[in-house]
Chain A
Amino acid sequence: MNHFRIIFLGFLATFASSWLGLVLLPSVHYGNEAAKLPPTTSTAESDLLRRGEQVYSANGCVYCHTQQVRPFAFGSDDERNWGKRRTVAADYLGDAKALMGTMRTGPDLANIGVRMPSTSWHYKHLFEPTSTSPGSIMPPHRFLFERKPVFNGVPDADAISIGPNGEQVDATGHQWVPTADGRALVAYLISLQRSAVDRPEASEAPQK
């Protein structure tokens, strides 16, 4: 073959086929599905969750945590209590970006809000992961907290426990409270309850 023009048509045809199948088709299909969702209005809460999603993606949580529950026949997600059913595409329709992840250095988070509904647990865990999860290799996220002096001996309502007996104030009279980013991230994590709604397309044939 010595004609670039003919070869070039080959480049175009092979590539365009995958572009149509893997890019255009899913975009149109899921775009139509998303359009069927009831319109949402922006509220203080939805803004907070959006910001939390942003903090999640800016700090790369996705490199160690997935947000997808595998089919029960395809792993131990069920036994590990990671969700009461597999996740399906419709569970992600309301998201701004796909953060399904491909790595489980840490556990799946698709339903972390069901498993760990406590705000204070998440703050403690983000501040010092090994304090709640011994042996964890998650990096501490101190930068999501600020160190502030305590006035009148009463710490802020969301000051985290830093001492061995749950003390919120250290020896120099300082406390650690979550920043706005920290609060948004924890609100987002607690909102992750992707298997909460039943969906017919997520049902699997009984295994036993």
Chain B
Amino acid sequence: MTEEAKLRSRAERAEIDAKAAGPVMQFFISALFWLLAGSALALIASLKLHSPTFLAEQDWLTFGRVRPAHLNTMVYGWATMAGIGVALWMMSRLCRAPLRGVGWLHVSALLLNIGNAWGTYGVLTGGSTSFEWLEYPRAAGLFLSAAFVPLIIVFADMARRRQAGHIYVSQWYLMAAIFWFPWLYLTAQALMLWQPVAAPAQAPMNWWYAHNALGLWFTPICLATAYYLIPKILGKPIHSYYLSVIGFWSLAFFYAWNGMHHLIGGPYPAWLISVSIVASLMMLIPVVTVAVNHHFTMRGSFGALRTSPTLRFVVFAAMSYTIVSVQGSLTAIRAVSRVTHFTHYTVAHAHMGMYAFVTMMLFGAMYYMMPRLIGKEWPSRWLIRIHFWGCALGVLHYWIILSIGGIKQGLWMLDPSVPFLDIVQRMLPYLEQRSWAGVAMTTGHIAFAISFIWLLMSKSNQDTGPTLLGKTNNQKSIV
């Protein structure tokens, strides 16, 4: 590239980032708020499992309300809003089309915030639907649904205005996510809350929805992020275009059929369950192709993990994706599920997916994006370190301890000579450790929040160069 072309390309990126800054920051600030609220709810719920009389007097703080409030604020407040912010900016960059419809995006963020606030209030005051991942009462769902109308239009507009040429794999993932999720959400809202179908049909729909909310909404956004940021930070192209094509289409086809593995051993005909077990095992194809593709892109550059905060989070998340997906495929096998179903093993697995993969990926993207959006560098490398290690060690501890505990719980439940209440008692040490893991993750979140607010408040410091975690010979290129 000539010097002139470089300058032009830099000016173009600056214009795209400037246009995206307003709405994306609104999504990020909202997401941060919901992350902290969700963490507080998580800690309360976790403490209650080993100290059941803690905050037990009021109905709105009972375990069965705090737990769904935690899950929904994290899913629709934190991950959805942060994910939309990341997706908007990435799509705009990849299409080389500055955002239009900024006002409507502000409305969308506002609707999501109202929906989340209303929904959380509703769940805590006794309006929970008890459909997992869909506990927000009906009215909250209307706000969340409406928020997607401007989003679909803005994404379609960017796709239409994209500069001619190759469509990068991240764009496929993003367009697919923004098309799939509203369809998923509206189907579940309409057929479970507005005009409920017969009860036996609700459970398959519930798990079709909940599994695909992870698989066809958060996963595509986060894989798009990994496909975009890893080559970008390392300054080299993705290893194989063909692997990325296979990875995308096998994910699209197989993931959508996965959900019924949550009903193994349940009151359903064998074919319904078996089709999901097969699809879950087939998920090894997209997972292995993505893992191979990212690994070979990273090969020779792992040293950059020492310095780049973004890369550290993104690579941790990408590795977690491989682990959690392989784990998911294996858990879908009947012999494994016989032990692990109905236990804390599943809870550990869910956090590996929604946290170690999705949440860590979104953190990584925010570290990369915010200095570009607001023209300031992260104020403290120590806060970034506390954030990373608190979250990384916290979630690994969570996953390991509850996986081991869950397997034991499952084996004890299969053994009728162990009385049920003994199992409850034997699980207590694992549940206590889970709370400690939650404390570590929450510490990370607080460090991130301080960092975030400090960055917003600080004066411009662009000329000091990017905030890195260690010394590098090539400081400018790695952030």
Contacts and interface: CB of A to CB of B under 8 A. Distances in A.
A78 to B, nearest CB: 8
B75 to A, nearest CB: 15
A93 B199 CA distance: 6
A167 B431 CA distance: 35
A99 interface: yes
Given A17-B256, A76-B413, A95-B199, A140 B128 contact: no
B64 A59 contact: yes
A4 B159 contact: yes
Interface in B181-205: 183, 187, 191-192, 196-205
Given A63-B63, A63-B67, A139 B341 contact: no
Nearest to A104: B342
Contact of A58 (B127, B272, B421): B127
Contacts of B305: none
B346 A103 contact: yes
Task: Tell which of A64, A79, A100 has the most Cβ of chain B within 10 Å.
Answer: A100
Contacts of B172: 7
A99 B206 CA distance: 11
Nearest to B416: A79
Nearest to B159: A4
Contact of A4 (B167, B197, B415): B167
A75 B126 CA distance: 34
Given A80-B416, A137-B52, A139-B62, A68 B421 contact: no
Contact of A143 (B58, B191, B259): B58
A14 B257 CA distance: 9
Interface stretch (A116-124, A128-136, A156-164, A169-177): A128-136
Given A60-B68, A93-B200, A8 B342 contact: no
A148 B216 CA distance: 53
Contacts of B65: 58-60
A30 B48 contact: no
Contacts of A113: none
Contacts of A14: 249, 252-253, 256
B449 interface: no
Contact of A97 (B129, B265, B343): B129
Contacts of B334: 74
B167 A2 contact: yes
B243 interface: no
Given A60-B130, A93-B199, A98-B203, A22 B49 contact: no
Given A7-B172, A14-B256, A86-B267, A23 B56 contact: no
B165 A58 contact: no
B268 interface: yes
Interface string A20-34: 011100110111011
A150 interface: no
A60 B421 contact: no
B262 interface: yes
B118 interface: no
B130 A99 contact: yes
A13 B263 CA distance: 25
Given A30-B200, A100-B267, A140-B53, 13 more contacts: A1-B245, A15-B179, A22-B272, A30-B197, A59-B65, A63-B64, A64-B63, A64-B64, A79-B416, A88-B267, A129-B52, A142-B56, A142-B57
Interface of A: 1-2, 4, 7-8, 10-12, 14-15, 17-19, 21-23, 26-27, 29-31, 33-34, 56-64, 66, 68, 70-71, 74-76, 79-80, 86-100, 102-107, 129, 133-143
Interface of B: 48-50, 52-53, 56-59, 62-65, 67-68, 126-132, 159, 165-167, 172, 175-176, 179-180, 183, 187, 191-192, 196-206, 208, 212, 216, 245, 249, 252-253, 256-257, 259-260, 262-263, 265-269, 272, 275-276, 334, 338, 341-344, 346-347, 413-416, 420-422, 424-425, 427-428, 431
24 contacts: A2-B165, A11-B176, A15-B180, A19-B183, A27-B197, A33-B198, A58-B128, A59-B128, A60-B65, A75-B338, A89-B200, A89-B268, A91-B267, A98-B199, A98-B203, A102-B132, A105-B344, A106-B424, A107-B420, A136-B52, A137-B50, A137-B52, A137-B424, A139-B62
